[in-house]
């Protein structure tokens, strides 16, 4: 897939996920461990992922 087309698809998906109420949205699986750490940190503080929104 052409890079420009890929980026457009990612942007569309990101927008739809955010509009649907996603707490976090990532572009690649490489970002997942960092998001998990963030969520775990929120939970340890007695917060929920909603606190991040």
Mean pLDDT of the region 37-46:
92
**pLDDT digits over 18-37, tens only?**
999 999 999 899 999 999 99
Cβ density class 15-33: b for 16+ within 10 Å, e for less:
eeeeeeeebbeeeeeeeee
Question: Model-level pTM greater than 0.75?
Answer: no
């Amino acid at each position: 897939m052409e890079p420009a087309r890929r980026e457009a698809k990612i942007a569309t998906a990101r927008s739809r996920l955010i509009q649907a109420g996603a707490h976090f949205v990532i572009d690649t699986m490489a970002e997942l461990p960092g998001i998990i750490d963030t969520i775990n940190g929120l939970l340890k503080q007695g917060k929920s992922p909603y606190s991040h929104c």
